[in-house]
Structure 1
Amino acid sequence: MNIKITGSGSYIPTRIVTNLEFAQHEFLGEGGKPLPYSNEEVAEKFKQITGIEERRYVDEDLLTSDIAYFAAQRAIDDAKIDPETIDYIIFAHNFGNVKSGAIQTDILPSLASRVKHSLKIKNPKCVAYDILFGCPGWVEGVIQAQAYIKAGMAKRCLVIGAETLSRVVDPHDRDSMIYSDGAGASIIEATDDEGGILAHETASFTHDEAYFLFFGNSYNVTHDPDVRYIKMYGRKIYEFALTNVPLAMKDCLDKSGVAIEDVKKVLIHQANEKMDEAIIHRFFKLHKKTPPEGVMPMSIHKLGNSSVATVPTLYDLLIKGQLENQEIQKGDIVMFASVGAGMNVNAFVYKV
């Protein structure tokens, strides 16, 4: 028995927000101090570091659970399965449903329950639940699905990663330019087909690192102090990721028994182009190798960082031939990896 991704789907919001659209923002530093350079300089440096030229935001009438449903239905259609045969729906997100203009998150009922309802699944033995694991949530959901299947508790799972980060960003924080909205979903199931998940690795670093990403006040001190926004210590995250993600990836690859030369693609969380490039170089350096050209497909330039949605969306675009100059073939070895709030890192090695 092998455990494979038998169907995938994604939802990419239609509203395109370019870097130019931040030109009128009043960006501030901590304590409400104005930045010592113009918005044009902010935008140019931002693009150089992150690689982001534009990002996608959902329409005002859509919620995280809505776009998750869209991606889930596409994954079900792609796998050509009856949704009543799904044993688990595992929904990774971080902020629940946040309505446009609202200051509260809504996770009652769970977003997984809402998706199951939208899919019109009647089977009560289809268990639906949410996981909060930072940006690596979808990868961790796949690892959990694999565990259920290996234990004989399930034959087929739906794993979703979706987020509407545009609803929880501080408009006065230049880091808000990183974040975007989106959803990706996959069907994970036992199959007689060759390949599948070969090994996985997960770790949580909390002693010193737990609050590298957190909910905090706006940099505009006149804003309501009871309204919080996503905040991060970017330099600390960068240093953490460069140290710990390549090591987790190496441990995972070592457990799989696959040689580094056989890894065709690395699908890494789309957080920051320079950080992702540095992680890949360090990962290959641990094996005394140089990354082959094209080994790391990227979607961040046009889609931004949609947290848990970046990896499943990237996979869906890649497997369906929608990434320019990128493709994967049956039998290829792909590594999935992510890092995010918690601080959590994880990875799995997969044979297509």
Structure 2
Amino acid sequence: MRAAVIGGIGSWLPPGLVSNDDLADRMDTSDAWIRTRTGIRTRYFVPPGMPTSRLAAEAGARALESAGTADADAVVLATTTPDRPCPASAPEVARRLGLTGVPAFDVSAVCTGFLYALTAAAGMIASGAAEQVLVIGAEAFSTIVDPHDRSSAVVFGDGAGAVVLRAGDPGEPGALGRIVLGSDGSLADLITVRAGGSERPHPEADPGRSDPADRYFSMRGREVFQHAVTRMSQSAREALAHTGWRPGDVDRLVGHQANLRILHAVAEQLDIPVERLVVHLDRVGNTAAASIPLALAHAHATGDLVPGARVVLAAFGGGATWGATALTWPSLKAA
């Protein structure tokens, strides 16, 4: 059987470093308040006019460099913040990378998007439709949050992470295990941008049906916390069962980087020591679909992820969506 194997990794952050103190200058918050509730110290925001495709292409180029190639048979982009509502941003990413002509498409599953994109890419490899696929998670969340809403503006950041998946053997390091996915549309209002789609147009276009605040991202934090912990833990257990590992076998748990409390709660539910958590949100905030690949790239670069480490990935996002997978970390070149 053909397996999808991680053969390269890369990431990129925009130039706008924003500290908690920077945010406190413009809204009713403080560094202590943000760190206590989220674990976040800094994040990065795109400057005006920098689209998600730019972030994605920068990370993708570094992943291709890590893999020792300039080519890919397809590009799959996980994002909640495409350059435009139409068309998809992945073809533009492919163009920026000199890959015009290859299939390229977006995946929208919010914070679980990277795992959904891995599944799509792994399916292309398993079917023989591709030998090598570039998978990117990229977000410019600062463009869809209310900059004066401390419940969301302090949490989210912008950035991109990417991996190159290649065809390989199921038993080799880097081969993705079974990717467990799920969704529940009854929870759609937990994490949403209400306006801008076919259900509810932009407030400016139809002020009678939409509130101006509907153009911004909103989240019911307490309910999200409960569902995120439950679903991430359940899907991680399923992924471990498919792999044949026990929680004690896990060297690194890489959860969606939403909130430090969520990460600790998931580790506790799985009986995995918190010391085995990969934590990157303190530096970059919640980067939605980009959070897992950004965390992987950072842990790889710093040596926190070493070849042979048993790794579990788990996420929960809008939709609601969730998922998990497990793999043995491979030896990769630095980009």
What's the TM-score once normalised by structure 1's chain length? 0.83
Q: In structure 2, which of residues 40, 52, 60 is the aligned counterpart of residue 64 of structure 1?
A: 52
Corresponding position: 1:237 with 2:224: yes
Name 1:281's counterpart in structure 2: 268
Q: In structure 2, which of residues 284, 290, 293 is the aligned counterpart of residue 309 of structure 1?
A: 290
**What SS does the aligned partner of 1:338 have?**
strand
Name 2:192's counterpart in structure 1: 214
Give distance in 2, aligned partners of 1:251 and 1:118. Answer: 38
Q: 170-179 or 66-75: which moved more? A: 170-179
Q: 270-279 or 148-157: which moved more? A: 148-157
Greater C-alpha Rg: 1
Matched ranges for 1:263-342 at <5 A: 263-284=250-271, 291-321=272-302, 327-342=304-319
Cα distance, 1:26 vs structure 2: 4.5
Matched to 1:96, the amino acid is: P
Name 1:133's counterpart in structure 2: 109
Q: Deviations over 1:108-130 (max 9, x none)?
A: 332100011111224x3x21000
Q: Deviations over 1:203-242 (max 9, x none)?
A: 00122x121011258xxxxx97276100000001011112
Give distance in 2, aligned partners of 1:2 and 1:109. Answer: 31
RMSD after superposition: 1.9
Matched ranges for 1:86-165 at <5 A: 86-97=72-83, 106-122=84-100, 124=101, 126-165=102-141
Q: Which runs of 5+ in 2 are unaligned?
A: 196-209, 330-335
**What SS does the aligned partner of 2:177 have?**
strand
Q: Deviations over 1:221-269 (max 9, x none)?
A: xx97276100000001011112221011101111111222221101111
Cα distance, 1:154 vs structure 2: 1.6
Q: Deviations over 1:276-317 (max 9, x none)?
A: 111111122xxxxxx235210111111111111111011111
Given that 2:177 and 2:325 are in contact with CA atoms closer than 8 Å, whether structure 1 keeps it comes out as: yes
Matched ranges for 1:25-104 at <5 A: 25-26=26-27, 39-40=29-30, 43-83=31-71, 86-97=72-83
Cα distance, 1:164 vs structure 2: 0.6
Give distance in 1, aligned partners of 2:286 and 2:194. Answer: 19
Name 2:236's counterpart in structure 1: 249
Corresponding position: 1:190 with 2:167: yes
Q: Deviations over 1:100-146 (max 9, x none)?
A: xxxxxx14332100011111224x3x210001101110111112211
Matched to 1:341, the amino acid is: G
State the identity %.
Answer: 28
Name 2:180's counterpart in structure 1: 201
Aligned residues: 311
Name 2:199's counterpart in structure 1: none
